[in-house]
Structure 1
């Protein structure tokens, strides 16, 4: 496989990842979050990231085998020598966009988790003690009735 074709394949996978990240963003922005849908999206995202990681490892191995250094300069030199430097730069830019989108989605998830924790803390405070134990199970209520009258 030549480098041009390989970079096109890599670019296609990053585009697919961006599509998944946009789906995730839309789901996170919905008024009511569908947990199952988010789980499905997370699985697809994880699979795509795994595939991208495998492609990157393979690309690095091939370039090192061909004598290019294992750094950004070596990557650019290989792309220039293969006549696909513009495609390489496009891929770098696209990957940056996906990274920013993923980071923004992570921030939204962290904010929602913090909000949920605050709501849980307020419920626990309102009840006067923790409703749930560290294992997530409801604590038994002490319902002793005083025998003194």
Structure 2
């Protein structure tokens, strides 16, 4: 398998991952969260990340077999020698863009979780003031009101 072909494969998978991350971001920013859809996105992201890792492992193994060292400089030299330096640079740019999207979505998830936690805390505070317990029975405060009347 040529380096050019591996890089094109990486770009295809990065493109698919980027589209998924964009869909995830839209979902996280919307007023209504579709949990099953987010779960589907998470599973597909995991599958794509596994494929990307496999392709990267193959690329690295071929690079070493051809006598190039490890690291970015060696990879760039291998791409230059294989005549696909432009594709290598495009792949790096795509990977950086995808990483930024993923990081942004992580921040959105944390913000959503913090908001949900605040809402649950608020609901619990309100529920504690209720005259009824979770099982529907009158609380001791309500019973005291009934006996004093």
TM-score band (shorter)? Answer: 0.7 to 0.9
The alpha-carbon deviation at position 143 of structure 1 amounts to 5.3
RMSD after superposition:
2.1
| Structure with the largest fraction of helix | 2
Aligned to 2:32: 32
Question: Matched residue pairs, number?
Answer: 140
Alpha-carbon distance in structure 1 between the residues aligned to 2:75 and 2:8: 15
The alpha-carbon deviation at position 8 of structure 1 amounts to 0.7
- Structure 1's consecutive aligned runs of 4 or more residues displaced over 4 angstroms after TM superposition are 138-146
TM-score w.r.t. structure 1 length?
0.85
Alignment of 1:17-56 (within 5 A): 17-56=17-56
Q: Which has the larger radius of gyration?
A: 2
Alignment of 1:98-117 (within 5 A): 98-117=98-117
Change (3 A) 1:28 1:62: same
TM-score w.r.t. structure 2 length?
0.85
Change (3 A) 1:113 1:76: same
Alignment of 1:1-149 (within 5 A): 1-128=1-128
Change (3 A) 1:143 1:12: same
